[in-house]
């Protein structure tokens, strides 16, 4: 069982890590340059990521799997995770980098890894879709707020001007718009013609590989000097602390099986590559974010397997 779980986790995470390595190699051999990578980041942020979120949410039947207690737990755990990440960021002196630290520490690969992980174990991922609805909108709104308020381009602005700019960024953020349209489409029960569904799926399928290639191409080892400590702290919080805090609470509330696995993935999966795209497009350097994505992706194959094995051994899943 342990070896099977380890093999599955490696199969889920190693390809992600290798895509980032490919991006780094492409940059080293001049297949990509800084200008092209910047354009690629904008393309992913404005088109493929919104398409991916719309694709996942618009066709989901949330009424069939609705569980108010589970939804509320996911929302509360997410909000508390953001608060813990914000407190950790205060230990970092550079205020302009605190937004990156907060986002990298709380934001999981819930939408991508969560559905794949639960599908592999249970054969269907309806509960994972409900978890995505509870967390992804919060992930993105919190990311826009924290990254906008700490952006090097905006530091020093007056409070009113800064908040107006941040609010405008939330309302016009392509990722948030993709979530909003997807949720409204699902709630209204609007049918999707095959041509529309297929066309959106083409864009959606490009989101993850392109974002990871752009991340790898943008990563510069020289810029990580002095960032190892803070990034290791992010990985410890992301892969260990959140699970240690919230999993016992989930068990005490009676969540078992598929719901508990969904909560595990929500809390303890690697920092998603879309964090880097978001950070770069909101004026940040992205060094800490890229480093955190790489480190948590590499380590999560083992930490997720450990948590899953522990829950299985204790008879909760």
Classify burial at 71, counting beta carbons within 10 Å of its beta carbon; exposed 0-12, middle 13-18, buried 19 or more.
Answer: middle
Higher pLDDT, 195 or 11: 195
Q: Give the confidence band of 162 by pLDDT, cuts at 50, 70, 90.
A: low
Higher pLDDT, 310 or 81: 81
- Judge if pTM exceeds 0.85: no
Residue 117, CB half-sphere, CA atoms under 13 Å: how many? 34
Q: Is the pLDDT of residue 156 over 60?
A: no
Q: Is the pLDDT of residue 85 over 90?
A: yes
Rounded Cα–Cα distance for residues 44 and 316 (Å) = 38
Domain range for 186 is 2-313
Q: What is the signed CA dihedral for 43, 44, 46, 47, rounded to 10 degrees?
A: 90
Rounded Cα–Cα distance for residues 84 and 63 (Å) = 32
Structural domains in the chain (count): 1
- Tokens representing residue 291 in the block: 């480093």
DSSP H helices in the chain: 2-28, 34-43, 49-58, 62-65, 68-89, 98-106, 115-122, 126-149, 159-172, 174-188, 194-218, 228-236, 242-252, 257-268, 274-281, 287-313
Per-residue pLDDT tens over the stretch 29-76: 989 888 888 888 788 878 887 888 788 778 777 777 788 999 999 999
The predicted structure's pLDDT at residue 118 = 65
CATH number of the domain at 301, please.
1.20.1530.20
pLDDT above 90: percentage of residues in the chain: 25
Which span out of 145-154, 158-167, 290-299 was modeled with the highest average pLDDT?
290-299
What residues contact residue 94 under an 8 Å CB cut-off, 6+ apart? none
What residues contact residue 289 under an 8 Å CB cut-off, 6+ apart? 100, 103, 104, 271, 275, 276, 279
Q: Give the confidence band of 112 by pLDDT, cuts at 50, 70, 90.
A: low
DSSP three-state, residue 185:
helix
Rounded Cα–Cα distance for residues 311 and 223 (Å) = 39
């Amino acid at each position: 069982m342990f070896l099977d779980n380890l093999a599955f986790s490696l199969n889920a995470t190693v390809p992600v890590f290798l895509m980032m390595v490919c991006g780094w190699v492409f940059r080293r051999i001049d297949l990509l340059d800084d200008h092209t990578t910047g354009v690629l980041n904008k393309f992913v942020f404005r088109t493929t990521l919104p398409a991916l979120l719309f694709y996942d949410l618009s066709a989901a039947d949330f009424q069939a799997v609705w569980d108010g207690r589970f939804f509320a737990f996911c929302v509360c755990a997410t909000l508390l995770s953001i608060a813990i990440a914000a407190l950790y960021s205060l230990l970092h002196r550079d205020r302009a980098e605190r937004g990156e630290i907060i986002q990298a520490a709380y934001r999981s690969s819930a939408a991508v890894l969560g559905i794949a992980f639960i599908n592999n174990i249970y054969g269907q991922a309806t509960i994972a879709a409900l978890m995505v609805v509870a967390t992804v909108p919060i992930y993105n709104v919190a990311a826009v707020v924290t990254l906008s308020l700490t952006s090097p381009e905006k530091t020093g602005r007056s409070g009113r001007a800064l908040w107006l700019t941040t609010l405008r960024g939330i309302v016009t953020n392509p990722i948030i718009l993709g979530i909003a349209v997807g949720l409204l489409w699902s709630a209204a029960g609007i049918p999707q013609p095959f041509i529309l569904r297929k066309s959106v799926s083409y864009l959606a399928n490009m989101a993850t590989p392109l974002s990871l290639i752009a991340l790898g191409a943008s990563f510069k080892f020289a810029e990580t000097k002095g960032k190892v400590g803070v990034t290791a702290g992010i990985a410890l919080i992301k892969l260990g602390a959140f699970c240690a805090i919230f999993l016992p609470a989930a068990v005490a509330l009676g969540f078992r099986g598929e719901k508990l696995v969904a909560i595990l993935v929500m809390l303890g999966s690697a920092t998603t590559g879309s964090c880097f795209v978001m950070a770069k497009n909101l004026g940040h350097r992205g060094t800490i974010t890229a480093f955190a994505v790489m480190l948590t992706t590499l380590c999560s194959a083992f930490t997720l397997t450990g948590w899953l094995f522990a829950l299985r051994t204790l008879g909760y899943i």
